[in-house]
Structure 1
């Protein structure tokens, strides 16, 4: 699997990068959509979201073994297929359409990407192969009580010293204490990558989900298809991940941008599903002797939804291409701050705003067009609205991303971008 070739290199001024999808990409999209339609219909989604695990382990194995989805965007030398943000985005777009409850987003889009761009060969060799073959689940945990993903807001602390965590020498000879909140699939992840402060600056650390000193609590959340957790750490054994530099702020911001791009792709898929459902229902629902889609008010709703969904998809694809271009051109991704990182941050912020707004708007309008049936538990419309509202706040609100974007393009001072 080769990544899409952007038509232009990422530039410091955020020059346009147009996505170009190959036949292989389109075949990936078609195959996955067919697989999800067959194996993960609405009934299966509801069974999974109500189960103890929160997902279907059998389907997870099939995603790994039959489709190779878990290694699709990971390097070939670690058992992956050598794809990147574009391939990952296409998968997430389809998973978002299907509302599939799965650790895929947390494991591959969050933990997998964080490891892949870390420049840490030891960490990559240790965990990426297990992620690629489906034997290890992971997640990323930067946020704390205020929900912020800003590195500057981290209060968890890591200190060196103490005995190792699992008998593998001194790999786990750091200790992390603090609380991480709103951790995607944090209740069940085998590996937790978290951000903590050290004496010289923030760094990424790996902690085993079942390590001593780790207490995990599942949170009651709006979206039943995506589970979040609170993780309390009390001297938990940890291993540093990422650049050896004392302050890994640039690396951590890169990881955050990639996570935002991945979420935007998923939101674009969910928005498209809402549009498709609304249009289909407007065709078949008859009122006053004619389909409701023939009424001007409903036509306008559908047209407005289409404009927002198309804009969201364009923003997501652009961000995916910028991320792919930087990955291809940078042999040491952690040092990309001087090259295309500003372009990636800008594209990620635009995608975060457009895709969050489009998904929430489409989910609300889908319920409106369905009328009374759209409000019932048996219909999937409410599940999309809950996913849309939950995702809208996952990495910060659209208002926060707008403030960040204003700082990136020079409208406001960069410090004005903090906060939810």
Structure 2
């Protein structure tokens, strides 16, 4: 059972205060309206707090913290649907580089990720947006990379792309610059513009990679799923807060709408989903932090449940607000789009329920 320390809770509260001040939804809307993918000034402030280097070892300028602290940051980022490359750079890339045995590669890239000056991402998903070691889309032969990764988070915003390639001697990680010869980045038209995704194509790209074990990649994915679930809990809880707040203020037919049974029941269902999702997410975070044997089961369970809970709460948020909830001016659509998009990131609920069933049946 996850039992946060006092320091962790204080840090979480400080991150919330900073985001509410420096990164409200009005800043996020700049990215939604076609502006820069994230606010670099606000990102620098988050880095100054040490948040971007939580998963980076201390010898490379990070905090050497666990997934618990990173998950708390993601929960607060999700609460305000912040447009930031945190999951890609501070979780996926930081963990992947940390797991490598090549100290030179670590020393070259980890300090920049820790201080926020380098935004990195990882190209490792298959054509359905899932991780499977036998379905890596990039092949390495004689130091040349060829292939395509259909879904890469935070492209083209990332400065550095860590490409996972399969070769004759196993899997290797190749740091690639977007402007390298033979590299093509195609931004995708996403439902949620606060979480940009691009396709990466490599045509005979020269690169020298570092070997990586499958266990490192599996741990990276488990941590990412834990942070994603935490962000979904943060978003779902904010949907509940906004819905309950509006229900106690909006008056129709001479009565506050929160006094109507239909609204009461909808908000009560939202609360049940939020608390259940929090339990599932915390169970996964604790399992990853303690290297429990049931990490795979906890990951699929939390991902499937938290995804469904967030989508349902975002839909209820719009329903409680009625007509105003459908407008572009209201933030409800930001939460619904984030909920829908994040439910398909790293595998959709149907995929994770299938994985969960296979784990439980011993297949």
Would the TM-score normalized by the shorter structure come out above 0.5?
yes
Shift of 1:119: 4.3
Shift of 1:379: 0.5
Count of aligned positions? 363
Aligned to 1:183: 152
Shift of 1:412: 5.7
Residue 129 of structure 2, aligned match among 113, 136, 147: 147
Aligned to 2:180: 211
What TM-score do the two structures reach when normalised by structure 1? Answer: 0.83
Segments of 5+ residues of structure 1 without an aligned counterpart are 1-17, 161-173, 327-339, 414-420
CA shift in 2, pair 1:218/1:149, >3 Å: same
1:253-278 alpha-carbon deviations (Å, 9 max, x no partner): 22222221111111111111111111
**Distance of 1:405 and 1:241 partners within structure 2:** 32
Would the aligned equivalents of 1:110 and 1:139 in 2 still touch at CA under 8 Å? yes
1:377 matched to 2:359:
no
Aligned to 1:46: 29
Would the aligned equivalents of 1:207 and 1:239 in 2 still touch at CA under 8 Å? no
Shift of 1:48: 3.5
Shift of 1:223: 0.4
Aligned Cα root-mean-square deviation (Å): 1.6
Would the aligned equivalents of 1:185 and 1:227 in 2 still touch at CA under 8 Å? yes
Segments of 5+ residues of structure 2 without an aligned counterpart are none
Aligned to 1:130: 112
Shift of 1:386: 0.5
Residue 73 of structure 1, aligned match among 18, 43, 55: 55
**Distance of 2:231 and 2:203 partners within structure 1:** 34
**Distance of 1:113 and 1:390 partners within structure 2:** 23
What TM-score do the two structures reach when normalised by structure 2? Answer: 0.95
1:57 matched to 2:40:
yes
1:393 matched to 2:358:
no
**Distance of 1:266 and 1:320 partners within structure 2:** 12
Shift of 1:357: 0.9
CA shift in 2, pair 1:384/1:68, >3 Å: same
Q: How does 1:9-20 map to 2 (within 5 A)?
A: 18-20=1-3
**Distance of 1:120 and 1:291 partners within structure 2:** 62
Residue 220 of structure 1, aligned match among 189, 192, 209: 189
**Distance of 2:31 and 2:312 partners within structure 1:** 26
Q: How does 1:14-413 map to 2 (within 5 A)?
A: 18-65=1-48, 67-160=49-142, 174-243=143-212, 248-326=213-291, 340=292, 342-409=293-360, 411=361, 413=363
Shift of 1:154: 1.9
**Distance of 2:207 and 2:118 partners within structure 1:** 17
Would the aligned equivalents of 1:203 and 1:249 in 2 still touch at CA under 8 Å? no
Would the aligned equivalents of 1:97 and 1:273 in 2 still touch at CA under 8 Å? yes
SS in 1 for 2:203: strand
**Distance of 1:241 and 1:276 partners within structure 2:** 46
SS in 2 for 1:229: strand
1:374-412 alpha-carbon deviations (Å, 9 max, x no partner): 000000101111011111011111011011111222x26
**Distance of 1:242 and 1:350 partners within structure 2:** 31
1:126-184 alpha-carbon deviations (Å, 9 max, x no partner): 21111011111100111243333222222321123xxxxxxxxxxxxx22111112211
CA shift in 2, pair 1:217/1:388, >3 Å: same
Shift of 1:214: 1.0
